[in-house]
Amino acid sequence: MLVLLATALGFALATLGRHTSAALGTVAAYAVVWELGARLVLEIVDAPRPDRFMLSSHVGAWLTGRAEFWDGQACGDSGAGFCDGFYTLTWGPALAVLLALTAVLGVAAFVAFRRRDLI
């Protein structure tokens, strides 16, 4: 299933960019700008639950069934009871995000292909 999703995403990106190199460049840019850059910025500004915005977190949660992440802001300043600061991402929502991303990019690729090459 992961290979099918990756293939569909690669096809969609290559169709939207009109070249295979555009798809590879898009993946490299996503990895550098979002997975590394945005993760650093979200850590610096101390955003709550920054891992929920990362595609790698969803892929990991889907492959393993669940992924636990630590959030320093989960407990806040309240001293009422025990709080460990962990939150869980399970495979269901992670798969929904991956399927939605694939569907949106796939539809956009077919629409762009139809407009550009068939009309």
Residue 79: inside a domain: no
Domain assignment of residue 57, given as a range = 2-74+85-118
Q: Which of 40, 69, 59 is nearest to 99 (CA)?
A: 59
Looking at residue 56, what is its pLDDT? 93
The arithmetic mean of pLDDT across residues 13-41, rounded, is 90
Looking at residue 105, what is its pLDDT? 94
Residue 89 has pLDDT above 80, yes or no: yes
Residue 66 has pLDDT above 80, yes or no: yes
Residue 98: inside a domain: yes
Residue 39: inside a domain: yes
The arithmetic mean of pLDDT across residues 84-104, rounded, is 92
Provide the number of structural domains found in the chain.
1
Q: Which of 15, 32, 33, 13 is nearest to 23 (CA)?
A: 13
The arithmetic mean of pLDDT across residues 92-117, rounded, is 92
